[in-house]
């Protein structure tokens, strides 16, 4: 009996190839999207909770002056390393603390220096906080001895090509602050360390260290150390104390009123400063929420497609089904037949989906900076979610379709009167188009904002930022920059990137700094509201500031104003209009433009000439410094976009899912249109015999589908507007979409829908009515 059923099932598939292909393709795409995103999200939560038994450890987030007047809080450096010790001395609830201090360092190897991120000084109790697994050595002992360091396995493999490196020695150039008569400056000092511990970092976690050296408690918050590098402090609370209760008590103390606690398990999802050398990695929660929501929406569209097509196929064979029931086939047998057919299709789609996931996984990991592997999809919550999805897709369509075959319909089935499509089918088509239109509208708004980010400075796509790199020879770089004028494609050049190069603290607030030459202002076409630019003849200490600088210090007559800044005398010679120099989620901060050495050289080259210009610049560099590493370059547009990596990922993700959802929706609409046309062939023939033209017939067939799309657009409009506004409001500077963009998406969706059904409608309209009536 089962063999006969399978033969009948495959025979039915062959008779309805279009339906079968669309059903399996829809299910496959839906499973690929949902399983990939489910695996990604569950893996991210696994990383966030990798230190599962450290519920009593907390770090801090605080309001950052770097965000201007905004109230945003970020996790990371809180400016001082003494917070942990002060809290422990004042509150008995604090049982321990751990402090990390970031170091600016370069590896000195074979006569060359290479910058390295992830070098931290840390107190010896670090293993109590992070619980790292060791491949060798004693970490606490290493961190308690001068001249010794611990490295991660990945770092050891990258430098030595092996992980058994205990006893190896490494030379570093480490940046330290030096006090002189007129202030502080930084200098690199040559230091050699012996590796005495190796940390196994093969398990995915959110701590971002590569090299660790000991930080004696007596050196925490030494004045010079505070000036150079960032502090990250963690505290351990007594097991009977909750974080909320302690935070309330802590903030009652005026010394800590701006600090908020961050549980260790929430650090991964708490925004940091965004620097590559941050102690912890972070992931935007919005990226995950949007990703999993859209993936589930695509899965729902795929399931709707399957149900719609299953319903139309079932309505086509209702008479045969009714006869089977009249001649003795039980409901149970019919139900099992439907569920078997559905199950076979679902598992076939699952097999294809897993193969596609295996092929797409490297690209997916590259896009989201993830480290997913295939076994991740068959463990934990991901496996259970997959089983629930499969069970739903097998049971729901089958049970719903069979519910339409009650005994009261048998007489109508046999008389071929039961051909009306259920309202659910229409509702699902509307829902599919509504989801697709919501995604398309969201994509349009995100794309407009990202385009605004990339081009918020005029001509940003024509500006190339050339970075010499920290290992380049300064003299060779200066010779190279002087010879850039010989390249005909270069229209203008200056030194100074136009983006923030750092910030300096003075009197408890921050000033962004840009170093440049005197060509900077003409190159970027900066507009002065007072005074003018500095020149080679300007007095020493002359600086240009922005409007926010004047407002912050409430300067009535800024030009000529003298002030002391970190031990140096400065005089304002000009004030420029505020312009964006960093992340567009941050308010413009006070800015000083200083006539000092800038390591970024900037050239203006028309986009169509950039490939040729870059080739000539590379050749020139190899001529000037053949033994030096090649300089790096990027357009200013790319530099601005680099501040918004998560937003770029989200835009790419939503764009892909939006097109997938639209294609799936159109595939379902194509199948339904085919069924509708085939079901109305006799009606079409009679209308043509009565004098209806081909265009009238096409309009008749398309009218219903156009109405569905218009209803879907009206439903999608407020939903898309709400979600777009929720996303875009975290930008301080933004580009709002106009009503014409919304209308344009609606017209586009309507056009796509009409194109999907018009071919079959036209084919039916031009068919000879006599042939149709003879066949009927």
What would the pLDDT profile of 43-55 be if each residue is shown by its tens digit? 888 888 877 666 7
In degrees and rounded to multiples of 5, residue 616 shows phi and psi of: -70, -35
Residue 597 has what pLDDT?
A: 78
Rounded average pLDDT over 483-505: 82
Q: Is the residue at 289 inside a domain?
A: no
As a whole number of angstroms, the distance between CA 359 and CA 701 comes to 41
Residue 66 has what pLDDT?
A: 44
N residues, the chain: 776
Q: Is the residue at 514 inside a domain?
A: yes
What would the pLDDT profile of 356-386 be if each residue is shown by its tens digit? 999 999 988 888 888 888 888 887 777 887 7
Burial of 409 (0-12, 13-18, 19+ CB in 10 A): middle
334 and 6 in contact (C-beta within 8 Å)? no
As a whole number of angstroms, the distance between CA 124 and CA 215 comes to 7
Residues 6+ apart with CB under 8 A from 312: 19, 421, 425, 671, 672, 675
Residues 6+ apart with CB under 8 A from 422: 311, 404
Whether residues 130 and 244 fall in one domain? yes
Structure tokens at 605: 């080259």
Whether residues 105 and 236 fall in one domain? yes
Query: Residue 186 pLDDT more than 70?
Result: no
Burial of 336 (0-12, 13-18, 19+ CB in 10 A): middle
As a whole number of angstroms, the distance between CA 129 and CA 143 comes to 14
Whether residues 439 and 492 fall in one domain? no
Q: Is the residue at 61 inside a domain?
A: yes
Better pLDDT: 366 or 403: 366
In degrees and rounded to multiples of 5, residue 107 shows phi and psi of: -85, 130
Query: Residue 730 pLDDT more than 50?
Result: yes
Better pLDDT: 518 or 509: 518
Whether residues 555 and 496 fall in one domain? yes
Q: Is the residue at 380 inside a domain?
A: no
Residue 188 has what pLDDT?
A: 74
Query: Residue 529 pLDDT more than 50?
Result: yes
Query: Residue 416 pLDDT more than 80?
Result: no
Query: Residue 772 pLDDT more than 60?
Result: no
Rounded average pLDDT over 644-654: 84
As a whole number of angstroms, the distance between CA 591 and CA 512 comes to 5
Residue 70 has what pLDDT?
A: 43
Label residue 326 by pLDDT band (50, 70, 90): very low
- Radius of gyration over alpha carbons of the chain, in Å? 33
Query: Residue 558 pLDDT more than 50?
Result: yes
What would the pLDDT profile of 98-157 be if each residue is shown by its tens digit? 999 888 888 876 656 677 888 999 998 888 888 889 999 999 999 999 999 999 999 999
Residue 319 has what pLDDT?
A: 47
- Element containing residue 128 per DSSP (H, E): helix 126-130
Q: Is 544 helix (H, G, I), strand (E, B) or coil?
A: strand
Alpha-carbon distances of 692 from 194, 414, 685, 697, rounded to whole Å: 91, 32, 9, 7
Whether residues 472 and 526 fall in one domain? yes
Parallel/antiparallel/unpaired status of strands 211-214 and 119-122: parallel
The single-letter DSSP state of residue 538 is S
Residue 200: other Cβ atoms inside 10 A: 14
Whether residues 637 and 675 fall in one domain? no
Label residue 403 by pLDDT band (50, 70, 90): low
Structure tokens at 609: 């000439």
Contacts 24+ apart (CB under 8 A), 371-378: 371/43, 371/204, 372/39, 372/40, 372/43, 376/39, 376/42, 376/43, 377/35, 377/39
What rounded mean pLDDT belongs to the chain?
80
Better pLDDT: 296 or 276: 296
Weakest mean pLDDT among 5-9, 70-74, 645-649, 676-680: 70-74
What is the torsional sign of CA 669, 671, 673, 679?
A: negative
674 and 761 in contact (C-beta within 8 Å)? no
Whether residues 198 and 77 fall in one domain? yes
Residue 112 has what pLDDT?
A: 62
Residue 182 has what pLDDT?
A: 55
Query: Residue 169 pLDDT more than 80?
Result: yes
Range of the domain at 559: 460-642
Residue 1 has what pLDDT?
A: 44
Whether residues 652 and 638 fall in one domain? no
Q: Is the residue at 478 inside a domain?
A: yes
Query: Residue 282 pLDDT more than 90?
Result: no
Q: How many domains does the chain have?
A: 3
Q: Is 145 helix (H, G, I), strand (E, B) or coil?
A: coil
Query: Residue 667 pLDDT more than 80?
Result: no
**pTM of full prediction above 0.75:** yes
Residue 266 has what pLDDT?
A: 84
Query: Residue 205 pLDDT more than 80?
Result: yes
In DSSP notation, 311-324 reads HHHHHHTHHHHHHH
Residue 419 has what pLDDT?
A: 45
Whether residues 564 and 669 fall in one domain? no
Q: Is the residue at 377 inside a domain?
A: no
As a whole number of angstroms, the distance between CA 681 and CA 692 comes to 14
Q: Measured between alpha carbons, how far apart are the two ends of the chain, in Å?
A: 34
Whether residues 663 and 599 fall in one domain? no
Whether residues 658 and 732 fall in one domain? yes
Query: Residue 30 pLDDT more than 60?
Result: yes
Label residue 749 by pLDDT band (50, 70, 90): confident
Q: Which of 605, 621, 642 is the last residue of a domain?
A: 642
Label residue 404 by pLDDT band (50, 70, 90): low
Better pLDDT: 407 or 500: 500
Rounded average pLDDT over 194-212: 89
Burial of 322 (0-12, 13-18, 19+ CB in 10 A): buried
**Torsional class of 161: left (φ above 0), alpha (ψ -120 to 50), beta (otherwise):** left
Whether residues 191 and 269 fall in one domain? yes
Residue 147 has what pLDDT?
A: 92
Weakest mean pLDDT among 379-383, 389-393, 502-506: 502-506
Query: Residue 349 pLDDT more than 80?
Result: yes
Label residue 617 by pLDDT band (50, 70, 90): very high
Query: Residue 294: how many CA atoms within 13 Å on its side-chain side?
Result: 31
Burial of 119 (0-12, 13-18, 19+ CB in 10 A): buried
Q: Which of 642, 667, 690 is the last residue of a domain?
A: 642
Q: Which of 284, 308, 323 is the last residue of a domain?
A: 284
680 and 701 in contact (C-beta within 8 Å)? yes
Query: Nearest to residue 757, comparing CAs of 695, 658, 632, 672?
Result: 672
Residue 425 has what pLDDT?
A: 66
As a whole number of angstroms, the distance between CA 528 and CA 512 comes to 18
Residue 552 has what pLDDT?
A: 86
Q: Is the residue at 2 inside a domain?
A: no
- Percent of the chain exceeding pLDDT 90 equals 21
What would the pLDDT profile of 426-451 be if each residue is shown by its tens digit? 777 788 888 889 988 988 998 999 99
Query: Residue 197 pLDDT more than 90?
Result: yes
Q: Is the residue at 234 inside a domain?
A: yes
């Amino acid at each position: 009996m089962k063999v006969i059923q399978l033969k009948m099932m495959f025979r039915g598939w062959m008779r309805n190839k279009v339906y079968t292909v669309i059903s399996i393709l829809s299910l496959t795409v839906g499973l690929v999207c949902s399983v990939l995103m489910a695996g990604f999200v569950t893996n991210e939560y696994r990383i966030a909770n990798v230190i599962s038994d450290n519920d009593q450890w907390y770090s801090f987030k605080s309001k950052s002056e770097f965000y201007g007047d905004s109230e945003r809080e970020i996790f990371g450096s809180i400016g001082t390393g003494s917070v942990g010790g002060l809290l422990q001395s004042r509150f008995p609830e604090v049982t321990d603390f751990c402090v990390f201090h970031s170091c600016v360092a370069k590896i000195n190897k074979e006569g060359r220096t290479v910058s390295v991120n992830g070098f931290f000084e840390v107190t010896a109790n670090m293993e109590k906080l992070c619980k790292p697994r060791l491949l060798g050595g004693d970490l606490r002992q290493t961190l308690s001895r001068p001249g010794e360091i611990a490295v991660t396995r990945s770092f050891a493999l990258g430098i030595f090509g092996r992980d058994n490196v205990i006893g190896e020695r490494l030379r570093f150039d480490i940046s330290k602050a030096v006090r002189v008569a007129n202030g502080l400056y930084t200098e690199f000092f040559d230091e050699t360390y012996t590796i005495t511990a190796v940390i196994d970092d093969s398990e995915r976690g959110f701590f971002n260290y590569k090299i660790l050296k000991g930080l004696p408690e007596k050196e925490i918050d030494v004045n010079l150390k505070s000036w150079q590098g960032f502090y990250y402090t963690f505290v351990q609370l007594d097991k009977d104390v909750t974080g909320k209760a302690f935070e309330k008590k802590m903030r009652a103390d005026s010394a800590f009123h701006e600090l908020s606690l961050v549980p260790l398990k929430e650090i991964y999802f708490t925004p940091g400063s965004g620097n590559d050398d941050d102690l912890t990695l972070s992931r935007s929660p919005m990226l995950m929420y949007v990703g999993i929501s859209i993936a589930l929406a695509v899965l729902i569209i795929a399931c709707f497609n399957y149900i719609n097509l299953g319903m139309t196929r079932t309505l086509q064979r209702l008479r045969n089904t009714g006869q089977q029931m009249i001649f003795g086939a039980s409901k149970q047998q019919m139900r099992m037949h439907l569920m078997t057919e559905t199950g076979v299709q679902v598992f076939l789609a699952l097999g294809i989906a897993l193969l596609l996931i295996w092929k797409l996984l490297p690209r997916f990991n590259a896009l989201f900076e993830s480290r997913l592997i295939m076994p991740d999809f068959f463990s934990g919550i991901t496996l259970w979610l997959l089983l629930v999805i499969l069970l739903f897709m097998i049971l729901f369509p089958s049970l719903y379709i069979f519910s339409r075959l009650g005994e009261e319909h048998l007489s109508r089935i046999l008389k071929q009167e039961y051909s009306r499509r259920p309202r659910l089918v229409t509702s699902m088509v509307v829902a599919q188009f509504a989801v697709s239109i919501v995604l398309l509208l969201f994509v349009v708004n995100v794309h407009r904002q990202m385009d605004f980010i990339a081009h918020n400075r005029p001509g940003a796509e024509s500006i190339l930022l050339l970075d010499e790199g920290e290992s380049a020879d300064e003299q060779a770089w200066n010779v190279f920059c002087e010879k850039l004028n010989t390249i005909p494609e270069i229209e203008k050049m200056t030194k100074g990137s136009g983006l923030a190069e750092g910030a300096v603290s003075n009197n408890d607030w921050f000033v962004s700094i840009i170093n440049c030459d005197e060509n900077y202002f003409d190159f970027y076409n900066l507009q002065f509201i007072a005074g003018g630019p500095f020149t080679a003849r300007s007095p020493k200490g002359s600086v240009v500031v922005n409007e926010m600088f004047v407002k912050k210090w409430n300067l009535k007559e800024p030009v000529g104003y003298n002030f002391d800044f970190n031990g140096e005398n400065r005089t304002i010679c000009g004030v420029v209009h505020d312009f964006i120099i960093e992340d567009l989620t941050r308010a413009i901060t006070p800015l000083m433009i200083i006539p000092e050495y800038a390591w970024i050289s900037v050239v203006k080259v028309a986009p169509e000439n950039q490939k040729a210009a870059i080739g000539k610049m590379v050749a020139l560099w190899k001529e000037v410094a053949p033994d030096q590493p090649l300089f790096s370059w990027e357009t200013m547009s790319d530099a601005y976009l680099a501040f918004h990596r998560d937003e770029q990922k989200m835009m790419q993700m939503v764009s892909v899912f939006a097109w997938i959802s639209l294609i799936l929706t159109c595939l379902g609409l194509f199948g339904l249109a085919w069924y509708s046309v085939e079901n109305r062939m006799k009606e079409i023939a009679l209308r043509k015999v009565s004098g209806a033209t081909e265009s009238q017939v096409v309009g008749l067939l398309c009218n219903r589908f156009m109405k569905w799309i218009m209803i879907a657009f009206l439903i999608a409009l407020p939903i898309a507007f709400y979600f777009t506004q929720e996303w875009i409001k975290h930008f301080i500077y933004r580009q709002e979409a106009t009503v014409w963009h919304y209308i344009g998406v609606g017209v586009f969706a309507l056009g796509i829908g009409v194109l999907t059904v018009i071919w079959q409608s036209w084919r039916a309209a031009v068919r000879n009515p006599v042939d149709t009536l003879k066949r009927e």
